[in-house]
Each structure stands twice: as C-alpha cells, then as structure tokens.
Structure 1
Amino acid sequence: MNWDDVVALAAELPETEESTWYRTPALKVAGKGFARHRTEAEGGVVFFCGLDEKAALLATGDPAFFTTPHYDGYGSIIVDLARVDPVQLKELLVESWRRKAPKKLL
C-alpha cells in the first residue's frame, strides 16, 4: 500500500479532498483533516481513532501500527503503509473520516 492507494480509497467517501496539512499531503472532509501522510523520519499515515482503539492496535505488537511521543494522549495512530493489511487500512480510513465529517454526511 502507498499514499496513492489511500487517496483512491478515500475517493469513495463523500466530500473528501486531497489537500495539505502541516505542509504534507493530506485528506480532508469538509475542510477538516482526517489523514496526513507524514514526511518525518518514521513516515506513515496518521489517522484519528479512539484512545481505546489506539491502545488495542498498539497492544497487538503489529509493526504496521505505531505512535510517537508527539501523539501521546491523542486519539490518533500512525500506520506503516508498507506493512498494513489493506482491509484494516480501509477500516481505519473510514473511521477517521467519520470522526471528522459533519453529521449531515454520516
């Protein structure tokens, strides 16, 4: 999986646009970011999720999921696109979109 795959999956979600966020490629719904392609050394894509889901993903030990101290205490997870299962990626993408989308789109 790569960023182009994420963009293609997101194209199925209403009012999604490719944009930038913190000067990096991002996806937004109704102007709110829900996925950011990190250019930092660790790479990955940031998605929003619940704190419980984040803890559960990290507890699996799956190398596809990680975080950095910057995201401690926040409902967001970093996903390694080279390692993530495509089905899980889509689930995380949709969940992140749902967390940022206006109620009228849900």
Structure 2
Amino acid sequence: MIHFKDSTLQALEFIRQAVMELPSVTEKICFETPAFYANKKIFARIKEDGESLVLYNEERNLWINKDPKTFFITPHYENYKYMLINLERVEPEELKQLLKLAWQQRAPKSAVKQMNL
C-alpha cells in the first residue's frame, strides 16, 4: 500500500502522471499551488496546506459518507462541487479514478469522447 504521507511532492508527481495523459489538461498555479485544468475549468489543485487535494466532484457526499477521514469539505466548499482529499489517507488507485472522473466532469465533451469514457 503506497500513501503520500511524507511527501506532497510525491503526491503531486503522481497526480501529474495521472492527468497529463488526458486531453486538454494544463497545469497552472492557483492560489500559489499547482492546479490542473480541463481547458479553462479547474478540476484539481493542491490545497495551501500541502496535505489535501481540492477536487471537483459532483457526487462528493457519496465519498464523504464512505470515508469522512479521507474525503471531506470545509465550510468554504459547502456551496461548491469540490471536496477535499487527505493525501496521507487516500489510496493511489482511488485517487487516480477520482482525478479521471473530475476531469471527465469538467472537460469538453469532444475531449471526453476522444478518451472513449
């Protein structure tokens, strides 16, 4: 079992590898942290604390109910379709799945079709 407990940089490299193979993905800085966009729509970014990932998810309550220590929100995110992911607790394969889902929910339909998702 691999976790990103001791290294935000390790988590960031994993995230980059998982998303940069997807069409229309770019990496930019947002709130002074690395962020990932599908065209111009943000779908993931490292939170300022360096321990969490902010991730777009239209079904976040399912994930939060499944494991509230790994998936959660703060009051700031209550009115947005984002959840926070504790990078020390998330399983890499689950993170990869969630990143692709977030991209799919934010990417242009033509890019999603290109990936046959």
The aligned counterpart of 1:7 is 16
- What is the rounded CA distance, in whole Å, between the counterparts of 2:62 and 2:41 in structure 1? 25
Tell me how far apart the structure 1 counterparts of residues 104 and 67 of structure 2 sit (CA, whole Å): 26
The question of whether the paired residues in 1 share the 8 Å contact of 2:31 and 2:48 is answered with no
CA RMSD of aligned residues (A): 1.6
Q: Which amino acid aligns with 2:52?
A: G
Task: Choose from 54, 72, 78 the match for 1:46.
Answer: 54
1:25 partnered with 2:40: no
The one-character-per-residue Cα deviations of 1:13-57 (angstroms, maximum 9, x if unpaired) are 1121111122321011212211111113x831111111xx21111
- Cα distance in 1, alignment partners of residues 101 and 70 from structure 2: 17
**Alignment TM-score, normalising by the size of structure 1:** 0.86
Match of 2:77 among 71, 93, 96: 71
Structure 1 spans left out of the alignment, 5+ residues: none
Following TM superposition, the consecutive aligned residue runs of length 4 or more in structure 1 with deviations greater than 2 angstroms are none
Counterpart contact for 1:46–1:79, Cα < 8 Å: yes
- The TM-score normalised by the length of structure 2 is 0.79
Unaligned runs of 5+ in 2: 5-10, 113-117
- Kindly tell me the number of residue pairs found equivalent between the two proteins: 103
- Tell me the percent identity: 31
